[in-house]
Structure 1
Amino acid sequence: MAKRLRSSELCADCSAQDPCWASINRGILICDECCSVHRSLGRHISQVRHLKHTPWPPTLLQMVETLYNNGANSIWEHSLLDPASVMSGRRKANPQDKVHPNKAEFIRAKYQMLAFVHRLPCREDDSVTAKDLSKQLHSSVRTGNLETCLRLLSLGAQANFFHPEKGNTPLHVAAKAGQTLQAELLAVYGADPGTQDSNGKTPVDYARQGGHHELAERLVEIQYELTDRLAFYLCGRKPEHKNGQHFVIPQMADRRLSLDLSELAKAAKKKLQSLSNHLFEELAMDVYDEVDRRETDAVWLATQNHSTLVTETTVVPFLPVNPEYSSTRNQGRQKLARFNAHEFATLVIDILSDAKRRQQGNPVSGSKENVELILKSISNQHSSESQDNDQPDYDSVASDEDTDLETNAAKSNRQKSLDSDLSDGPVTAQEYMQVKNALVASEVKIQQLMKVNINLSDELRVMQKKASKLEKQSSVSESDYDNPTAPLELEETGSGRKGRQRSIIWQGEGSIPEDTDTAPSSSLPSTEDVIRKTEQITKNIQELLRAAQENKHDSYIPCSERIHVAVTEMAALFPKKPKSELVRTSLRLLTSSAYRLQSECKKTLPVETCPTTDIQLVTQQVIQCAYDIAKAAKQLVTITTKENNN
């Protein structure tokens, strides 16, 4: 269903006229430039869809339009509507602003950090607050007030909340009341149409019982959204759920290339079938996100028509990191971008087939395999078949297990494939376009990496200027988009099929240990000491950034070690058990990011030690860790300054 734009519509982020994209989970419309930033954040932050060139379920589009027209954007810009924000210098982006850094910084603050949303009064037990919000959501969905429910969801209400007294979920209530748009909103935030209430009935049952037949049919579509989307991606059609057909399993068009003939393919499929339901569901969700990335990329390039925006921000080369997921899962997700069309189609078909088998209740054997191994098996299996396939094979993005999982046969096969690619034979038009696209994607990654470097360097310079002024000032002025008084561990309002996501702080070996024998202490170090240690951290981070910009990858490890020492010395200034939750959170981010930085830098060991390392990907992760360290250090400077001046 195409969207007819009205001249009165403006981009929610910069107020540009005639926005062509929508962020479904935010209930807003956005322009091309702002969309380029939204896409780089990932679907857990913003789910974008083109208003004209992407198929829309009519009620989903109606839901987004209703939220937009009723001021859903004010939820995400709550504090900016306060006149005091103008006095403090905080403002939203405008159409004339540059995409980087101006619009990008504002959009990240608005949706990733939730810097401008309304904040509830702090309570000791957050779970009680979430429960109260969820009960309000449970009551609100029987009405047509969508923006109220979106506001509750943004504050932490759970779409799948099971009401202990009522014995059902908000989706049961919305279905019974015939509130189709509320059902769409709940589904976007992860509500499951297949959940049973205390009477054993699903939302679909209540919709049918109430005579809301179109809503019942839509809920069934939502229930099979994942597999429907995968099938449509491959063959352009969906199952006819009305007739009881819930799966479409496409077949390979060329039987010569059918992976049924490959022993490696059979082994990979067997491993897929051995996954537990939980791991299989995660893999299916990741493939769903990759399908969305590929389809949105295609629409993006088609609609931009080679404009300057494409060369500046261009496609998203792989799925952005989701901090909710483990590093292993994020690496597996990024590997999906390296699958060529034939490999990816094979994986999608295998997932559809196994989803149908599992849905029909066939038993699943205990899993001894992991998703990484399965993805590697599927990627490697084409090396011996590539002579019959025009599409080149790609090495997988490096993972922690690569050196253990890669067999000598796989190495030999990949070398044969490489030799074949470097032959002097004729080059077809298809091969030429594939090489061209690969080069474009590589250039995009480099450009994005350099922009991250520049943005971080700017951030550090600002931090140093502020630090130098602290000795003369009684307070620190906050930057436009920072919110240092808000906890870093914020509720993300992005939604996958698992529901709302939480942007959690990494709690690995570098976390601040809780000392149960030590009483909480409200004492903080002097501002001068904290500034001095922050300057040491900043100096070492700048050395690391210079090494990244000059491609001196052998300098990563010594730089990370110096940063780790400086971070440890700074953390030692603070009491073992700070009374302030904000101080504890900032220290956890600081120390855990330093540990992550060391782990990432170790991946740049000599090639013979880790032969498949993607150095660009590693560098991107290194810079992200450095950025987190800088932000945490700056926040600790701000906290100690305010506390010591009070």
Structure 2
Amino acid sequence: MSKRLRSSEVCADCSAQDPCWASINRGILICDECCSVHRSLGRHISQVRHLKHTPWPPTLLQMVETLYNNGANSIWEHSLLDPASVMSGRRKASPQDKVHPNKAEFIRAKYQMLAFVHRLPCREDDSVTAKDLSKQLHSSVRTGNLETCLRLLSLGAQANFFHPEKGNTPLHVAAKAGQTLQAELLAVYGADPGTQDSNGKTPVDYARQGGHHELAERLVEIQYELTDRLAFYLCGRKPEHKNGQHFVIPQMADSSLDLSELAKAAKKKLQSLSNHLFEELAMDVYDEVDRRETDAVWLATQNHSTLVTETTVVPFLPVNPEYSSTRNQGRQKLARFNAHEFATLVIDILSDAKRRQQGNPLTGSKENVELILKSISNQHSSESQDNDQPDYDSVASDEDTDLETNAPKSNRQKSLDSDLSDGPVTAQEYMQVKNALVASEASKLEKQSSVSESDYDNPTVPLELEETGSGRKGRQRSVIWQGEGSIPEDTDTAPSSSLPSTEDVIRKTEQITKNIQELLRAAQENKHDSYIPCSERIHVAVTEMAALFPKKPKSELVRTSLRLLTSSAYRLQSECKKTLPVETCPTTDIQLVTQQVIQCAYDIAKAAKQLVTITTKENNN
């Protein structure tokens, strides 16, 4: 962090003490509870980042702190500062308010509806107003007054506005003036550091000409932020842009898997996308990486009873109304990809981004992104499924939270198959995710598909790192997990509909979550020798929780939740054992193991949450 946050700081939305999250594009600090609502709105509304447990470019953090300290929150609460608002009963949320509906309704009104932002007088031609605002932004970024520029952006000024008389954009002006924080703000609102002015020069060029070398380097980082973030997610490394290295491409360690016809077909379809569609897909995958990483931080930083509170992880990318229904559905589908499938997609995107930037064109038909996603996540059970079943989740409301346990079986099954709720994804959904095959492994795993429903996770193939310009590679032996730890079907036992008490399940869940948090803290602090003892404690807690339930539960939801819980605990132990010093492994391999460990912990937490939800619902009926 660029500087220590003062202890007097409060949440911008409810005034709770010591906020530990930031909304980057709003220039505010927020507490845990309000952050859970921000996340459910989506990154197009609020881009959240933890102040301590997430890496920050120093100047980006400085930009947020400057906006917060200079009253950026008054932009979003302008009309609430009017004494008339108090008289009319309009007020902001307080720390004591419930998350739902009180805080959630206030936050949605504040940022989604912009209900309290100062409104300009209505004019017949809105485009003229936007142009005027953009011209004001163009002239304001040469100064250090960040809140003025944020106010203009909130009113509709365009960060990429090309000034017809000046022949450049606001980012050109900020770069020439050496205004680093203005450049950060403009970039958050979509300004492109690669845009050329009327003289063919980019903002990077002007920063270098003006001797603002750190700003120039930061602008290059911003230019490659998408591909850098994807590479760092997979292997914990970023390119050395100073040395002219702009891409790091991780690769599957067993490259022979990439030779399958399905894998080649999926890659070919990706390559045939138009640049516009490819950029859209890449941005959607970037958003999904952000969702997954933030979920991991969320689980690691909550107190150990979080799983039974109102605030939860966000199970899929929230709907962006500016996108088509098809694109929103495709974005939601990304949440169903397991770690290996998602890594396959990310690697293909990184490879093709590098190819396109180097001007190596491919001609072909314009494939729909929907087909790309279906190719990469080729479910081995698709032939036996009902052809009428939707390929994607319905575009769900973030308020659809109840399990439809009282619905007829056909409707309930449809809900599980095609709809995601605001809580963690149901166990049935996770069974579908984990049963989905990576295209390149379809032929290998098809033989196993009839063995047991509880072959929950696909084998994970470690990655090796290809660094453009250096050629350094690391290999690690592939360790295949065969789906241990499933709940065996006892054919001699009659199905039982009895469930343990909600209190017992909650108590065991809190024990599991406490152990998970200990593991995630070890991951954050790179204490890899703590992985195995942590995983063993988690396994004991999971076994004790599973023992609460009957050997053969009547409820399919309970059975699938228990399968997810126990199989994930076994796989967690398997992943943690890879940290044993049997052979010397590159640091990047440890990073990959850590990603798998976090994913397993995440699955265990979701399964425990699901069992709490089911037992609470059933015992209250």
**Compared CA separation, residues 440 and 238, structure 1 to 2 (3 A):** closer
Residue 251 of structure 1 deviates from its aligned partner by 1.3
Contact 2:508 2:544 in 1 (8 A): yes
Residue 261 of structure 1 deviates from its aligned partner by 2.8
1:365-392 residue CA offsets vs partner (Å, 9 max, x unmatched) = 1433100011001000777999999999
SS at match of 1:250: strand
**Compared CA separation, residues 260 and 400, structure 1 to 2 (3 A):** farther
Contact 1:560 1:601 in 2 (8 A): yes
Contact 1:25 1:495 in 2 (8 A): no
1:434-477 residue CA offsets vs partner (Å, 9 max, x unmatched) = 9999999999xxxxxxxxxxxxxxxxxxxxxxx99999999999
**Compared CA separation, residues 637 and 398, structure 1 to 2 (3 A):** closer
**Compared CA separation, residues 286 and 133, structure 1 to 2 (3 A):** same
**Compared CA separation, residues 355 and 474, structure 1 to 2 (3 A):** closer
Contact 2:300 2:521 in 1 (8 A): no
* Percent identity for Structure 1 against Structure 2: 99
Residue 595 of structure 1 deviates from its aligned partner by 48
1:145-176 residue CA offsets vs partner (Å, 9 max, x unmatched) = 00000000000000000000000000000000
Runs of 4+ in 1 over 4 A off after TM superposition: 381-443, 467-646
* Larger helix percent: 1
Contact 2:308 2:612 in 1 (8 A): no
**Compared CA separation, residues 440 and 242, structure 1 to 2 (3 A):** closer
Query: Which residue of 2 is the match for residue 326 of structure 1?
Result: 324
**Compared CA separation, residues 593 and 158, structure 1 to 2 (3 A):** farther
1:101-126 residue CA offsets vs partner (Å, 9 max, x unmatched) = 00000000000000000000000000
Contact 1:397 1:612 in 2 (8 A): no
1:198-227 residue CA offsets vs partner (Å, 9 max, x unmatched) = 000000000000000000000000000000
Q: Which deviates further from its counterpart, 27-36 or 425-434?
A: 425-434
**Compared CA separation, residues 136 and 602, structure 1 to 2 (3 A):** farther
> Is 2:362 aligned against 1:360?
no
Q: Which deviates further from its counterpart, 414-423 or 560-569?
A: 560-569
**Compared CA separation, residues 324 and 159, structure 1 to 2 (3 A):** same
Contact 1:23 1:46 in 2 (8 A): yes
Distance (whole Å) between structure 1 residues aligned to residue 454 and residue 323 of structure 2:
30
Contact 1:190 1:495 in 2 (8 A): no
Q: Output aligned runs, 1:90-239, within 5 Å.
A: 90-239=90-239
1:552-591 residue CA offsets vs partner (Å, 9 max, x unmatched) = 9999999999999999999999999999999999999999
Q: Which deviates further from its counterpart, 99-108 or 563-572?
A: 563-572
**Compared CA separation, residues 530 and 414, structure 1 to 2 (3 A):** closer
Contact 2:483 2:567 in 1 (8 A): yes
Contact 2:11 2:29 in 1 (8 A): yes
**Compared CA separation, residues 211 and 91, structure 1 to 2 (3 A):** same
Residue 5 of structure 1 deviates from its aligned partner by 3.0
Contact 2:393 2:420 in 1 (8 A): no
Contact 1:397 1:614 in 2 (8 A): no
**Compared CA separation, residues 130 and 480, structure 1 to 2 (3 A):** farther
Contact 1:398 1:613 in 2 (8 A): no
Residue 71 of structure 1 deviates from its aligned partner by 0.2
Contact 1:233 1:291 in 2 (8 A): yes
**Compared CA separation, residues 40 and 597, structure 1 to 2 (3 A):** farther
Residue 363 of structure 1 deviates from its aligned partner by 1.0
**Compared CA separation, residues 346 and 110, structure 1 to 2 (3 A):** same
SS at match of 1:489: strand
Distance (whole Å) between structure 2 residues aligned to residue 634 and residue 70 of structure 1:
40
**Compared CA separation, residues 131 and 480, structure 1 to 2 (3 A):** farther
SS at match of 2:29: strand
Distance (whole Å) between structure 2 residues aligned to residue 316 and residue 53 of structure 1:
18
Query: Which residue of 2 is the match for residue 579 of structure 1?
Result: 554
Q: Output aligned runs, 1:374-453, within 5 Å.
A: 374-380=372-378
Contact 1:274 1:367 in 2 (8 A): yes
SS at match of 1:368: coil
Contact 1:155 1:491 in 2 (8 A): no
Contact 1:338 1:395 in 2 (8 A): no
Q: Which deviates further from its counterpart, 497-506 or 47-56?
A: 497-506
Contact 1:488 1:586 in 2 (8 A): no
Query: Which residue of 2 is the match for residue 458 of structure 1?
Result: none
**Compared CA separation, residues 161 and 263, structure 1 to 2 (3 A):** same
Q: Which deviates further from its counterpart, 162-171 or 522-531?
A: 522-531
Residue 621 of structure 1 deviates from its aligned partner by 32
Unmatched runs of 5 consecutive residues or more in structure 1: 444-466
**Compared CA separation, residues 204 and 296, structure 1 to 2 (3 A):** same
Q: Normalising to structure 2: TM-score of the pair?
A: 0.63
**Compared CA separation, residues 433 and 136, structure 1 to 2 (3 A):** same
**Compared CA separation, residues 328 and 628, structure 1 to 2 (3 A):** farther
**Compared CA separation, residues 329 and 408, structure 1 to 2 (3 A):** farther
1:514-536 residue CA offsets vs partner (Å, 9 max, x unmatched) = 99999999999999999999999
Distance (whole Å) between structure 2 residues aligned to residue 280 and residue 490 of structure 1:
23
Contact 1:175 1:206 in 2 (8 A): yes
**Compared CA separation, residues 355 and 389, structure 1 to 2 (3 A):** farther
Contact 1:382 1:393 in 2 (8 A): no
Distance (whole Å) between structure 1 residues aligned to residue 58 and residue 476 of structure 2:
26
Contact 1:527 1:644 in 2 (8 A): yes
Q: Which deviates further from its counterpart, 605-614 or 201-210?
A: 605-614
Residue 364 of structure 1 deviates from its aligned partner by 3.0
SS at match of 1:22: strand
Residue 252 of structure 1 deviates from its aligned partner by 1.8
Q: Which deviates further from its counterpart, 508-517 or 24-33?
A: 508-517
**Compared CA separation, residues 98 and 528, structure 1 to 2 (3 A):** closer
Distance (whole Å) between structure 2 residues aligned to residue 218 and residue 157 of structure 1:
23
**Compared CA separation, residues 245 and 402, structure 1 to 2 (3 A):** farther
**Compared CA separation, residues 282 and 405, structure 1 to 2 (3 A):** farther
SS at match of 2:407: helix
Distance (whole Å) between structure 2 residues aligned to residue 125 and residue 593 of structure 1:
58
SS at match of 2:49: strand
SS at match of 1:504: coil
**Compared CA separation, residues 393 and 169, structure 1 to 2 (3 A):** closer
Residue 307 of structure 1 deviates from its aligned partner by 2.9
SS at match of 2:312: coil
Residue 356 of structure 1 deviates from its aligned partner by 0.2
**Compared CA separation, residues 305 and 518, structure 1 to 2 (3 A):** closer
Contact 1:505 1:588 in 2 (8 A): no
Contact 2:19 2:32 in 1 (8 A): yes
Residue 33 of structure 1 deviates from its aligned partner by 0.3
Distance (whole Å) between structure 1 residues aligned to residue 231 and residue 278 of structure 2:
17
Contact 2:486 2:566 in 1 (8 A): yes
Unmatched runs of 5 consecutive residues or more in structure 2: none
**Compared CA separation, residues 486 and 233, structure 1 to 2 (3 A):** closer
**Compared CA separation, residues 8 and 167, structure 1 to 2 (3 A):** same
1:318-355 residue CA offsets vs partner (Å, 9 max, x unmatched) = 00000000000000000000001000000000000000
**Compared CA separation, residues 197 and 544, structure 1 to 2 (3 A):** closer
Q: Which deviates further from its counterpart, 319-328 or 485-494?
A: 485-494
Contact 1:287 1:336 in 2 (8 A): yes
Distance (whole Å) between structure 2 residues aligned to residue 549 and residue 341 of structure 1:
19
Contact 1:190 1:497 in 2 (8 A): no
Query: Which residue of 1 is the match for residue 520 of structure 2?
Result: 545
Contact 1:226 1:288 in 2 (8 A): yes
**Compared CA separation, residues 326 and 279, structure 1 to 2 (3 A):** same
SS at match of 2:476: strand
**Compared CA separation, residues 637 and 339, structure 1 to 2 (3 A):** closer
Distance (whole Å) between structure 2 residues aligned to residue 307 and residue 111 of structure 1:
29
Please give the root-mean-square deviation of Cα atoms over the aligned residues, in Å. Answer: 21.7
SS at match of 2:402: helix
**Compared CA separation, residues 173 and 521, structure 1 to 2 (3 A):** farther
1:489-538 residue CA offsets vs partner (Å, 9 max, x unmatched) = 99999999999999999999999999999999999999999999999999
Contact 1:340 1:392 in 2 (8 A): no
Residue 263 of structure 1 deviates from its aligned partner by 1.1
